[in-house]
Amino acid sequence: MKIGFISLPVFGHLNPMTALARELRSRQHDVVFISLLDTEPFVSGIAKLPFLPCCEKDLPSGAMKEVARQISLRQGNEALEFTLRAIASMTDSLLDSLPGILENAEIDALVLDTYHFYMELVPIRLGMPYAHLSNALYFDYSGYTPLCIYDWPHERTSEALTRNRKGVARFLEILRRTNPRAVQCAKQAGIELDSDSTISKLAWITQMPKEFDFESSHWSSTLRHTGPFFDPAGRIKEDFPWQQITGQPIIYASMGTLQNGVASIYHDIVTAVEKRKDMQLVLSIGNHVDRRQIGSLPGNAIVVNHAPQFELLQRASVCITHAGLNTVLECLLNGVPQVAIPVTHDQPGVAARIADKKTGLVMPLKDLNASRLGLLLDEALSNPTYRENARYFQERLADYSGLSVAAELLENAFGLPKASDNSDKQASAHRLLLAK
């Protein structure tokens, strides 16, 4: 059986998706990655996966550069709707072209990114098995926990349930409005698009550890919490001036790879840490901001476009983050407390879990200024609660084998032969996690 993987063409989704494809390939399964031409250097050259291009006519090479720039400048609902429209343009193209791609490549099953909304319409129409992977925080359409686009706390009152369900209804309305072609295709095919009705019945996988998630007894029967996917061999090796590291405690700050184009946020970060002469700031700013826009920097600060994040978190005392799921999971893997500034998409939901589990502190973007951020940073560094809680999750995640468990879930879902080289210890750990 040949398994096709389809992911959104941004690193927060490509990194975990290619990691899982690489894990399946290491188990001697036949995989291929389907994506835009812009992702081919990473998928083929870094992740070393077979690559199939798609949407070449509608989204030719270079198309993602401007889309990413536009997304980087937007915040809140504006950013969400812009992103949904951008995803819809890729979906529209694939609704027409994907059946031919699958037939020509002799692909038998698909692993789809849940953020690639309505992409499952293609395998449903073809009668092809498919699984879902939530590379970012999953969407709980049940209403028993707040949808991830909101920063609401998890509460069990009737008022909270009503609020949550209204939030789901609002989001579904936006989703249908930004995807008219997919909605029409579903209607013509007699497919009901009702909340999570088209989510895979075979496997729905999230990187979110169950212990870090909100508690719920109403998850979909196919949703499985596997823990983080981390595959350093399949990531870009970033150049970094390690010789400039002073040995002082590190404040690592990054607004991720997508919502990173607003220079004023970096200015507030720099100003907030300026008084901490005993610490060293390492700031990753992406490709959409000129460092001259940030203003004056502390003398020992290191500013780079892209950083070797995991390696820096191994040395960091605190992380200032946009609350992207991958960054927060890497903080927890290293026992690093967070100061979160969520911007849009699933970041408010991830930040709500940071607040709930007390692994860090959260500041809504609308409230951001250097003074307030400095106070949160002081609290995160001086109050041992946050580091102790982050280290608790570090210990818990040491028991996880996220990639192995996710690969086994896919093997079960698609009826694939199991890898023969698992040790008894690995198999025991897998069975434990699969049962959770």
Give pLDDT tens digits for 129-138.
Answer: 999 999 999 9
Dist CA 168 CA 415 (whole Å): 34
User: Do 39 and 145 meet the contact criterion of CB atoms below 8 Å apart?
Assistant: no
- DSSP class of residue 34 equals E
Residue 418 is which amino acid?
A: K
Domains of the chain plus CATH, in order, are 2-233+401-434 (3.40.50.2000), 238-396 (3.40.50.2000)
Q: Contacts from 96-104 at CB under 8 Å and sequence distance 24+?
A: 97/54, 97/55, 98/34, 98/54, 98/122, 99/125, 99/126, 101/34, 101/52, 101/54, 102/4, 102/126, 102/128
Outline where DSSP puts E strands in 181-279. 204-206, 223-225, 250-254
How confident is the prediction along the chain (436 residues), in pLDDT tens digits per residue? 999 999 999 999 999 999 999 999 999 999 999 999 999 999 999 999 999 999 999 999 999 999 999 999 999 999 999 999 999 999 999 999 999 999 999 999 999 999 999 999 999 999 999 999 999 999 999 999 999 999 999 999 999 999 999 999 999 999 999 999 999 999 999 998 887 889 999 999 999 999 999 999 898 889 999 999 989 999 999 999 999 999 999 999 999 998 899 999 999 999 999 989 999 999 999 999 998 999 889 999 999 999 999 999 999 999 999 999 999 999 999 999 999 999 999 999 999 999 999 999 999 999 999 999 999 999 999 999 999 999 999 999 998 999 999 999 999 999 999 865 444 444 444 444 444 4
pLDDT for 419 equals 65
pLDDT for 95 equals 96
pLDDT for 418 equals 85
The position carrying tokens 């070449």 is 56
pLDDT for 420 equals 58
User: Do 316 and 251 meet the contact criterion of CB atoms below 8 Å apart?
Assistant: yes
Outline where DSSP puts E strands in 227-379. 250-254, 280-284, 302-304, 316-321, 338-340, 360-362
Q: How many CB atoms lie within 10 A of CB 151?
A: 18
185: helix, strand or coil: helix
Q: Exposed/middle/buried for 391, CB within 10 Å: 0-12, 13-18, 19+?
A: middle
pTM exceeding 0.85: yes
Dist CA 26 CA 289 (whole Å): 38
| Of 153, 148, 151, nearest in space to 135 by CA | 148
**Exposure class string for 38-76: b at 16+ Cβ within 10 A, else e:** bbeebbeebbebbbbbbbeeebeeebbeebbeebbebeb
Locate 353 and state its tokens: 């879990």
**Exposure class string for 367-385: b at 16+ Cβ within 10 A, else e:** ebeeeebbebbeebbeeee
Locate 337 and state its tokens: 């407390």
- DSSP class of residue 288 equals S
Dist CA 318 CA 297 (whole Å): 19
